[in-house]
Amino acid sequence: MRLPQPTTFAEGQRTIYGLLASAGGMFCGAAAGVMIALLMWGGWNAREEHTIVIIFGWALGGFILAMIAVIIGLLAGGPVGRFKVGAGRDGATIEAGGQ
């Protein structure tokens, strides 16, 4: 499968950012799956299970936060271009604008 050639520099950047965001999400998802498999079939003894679950739980939370941060960061710099955040008496708003 070949991607079409970009016609502008910005289009090429959007393609790269999209691919990096997808790859980052897949990596963190795969790592989370491996961690869950280790938890389920790791053969931990009963004394260590609580400690292992706490360590893996925090690491899994870190993977999820990293996945969110990388994807939002790449997409904000790529296809979206800018975020506008506001807060007022009516509540908080967030807008994403592109070119």
Quote the CA–CA distance of 49 and 39 in Å, as a whole number. 9
25 within 8 A of 64, measured Cβ to Cβ: no
Q: Is 20 contained in some domain?
A: yes
Report the C-alpha gap between 39 and 57 in whole angstroms.
10
Has residue 71 got a pLDDT over 60? yes
* Structural domain includes residue 1: no
Pairwise CA distance, residues 55 & 60, whole Å: 9
Give the span between the Cα atoms of 83 and 64, in whole angstroms. 22
Task: Supply the range of the domain harboring residue 24.
Answer: 9-97
Place of tokens 């004394």: 47
DSSP-derived 3-state class of residue 97: strand
**This prediction's pTM:** 0.55
Q: How confident is the model at residue 95 (pLDDT cuts 50, 70, 90)?
A: confident
Give me the number of domains the chain comprises.
1
What are 45-55's pLDDT values in tens digits?
888 888 888 88
Question: Does any domain span residue 79?
Answer: yes
Question: Tens of pLDDT along 75-88?
Answer: 666 555 566 778 88
Angle between helices 46-75 and 9-41 (to 10 degrees): 170
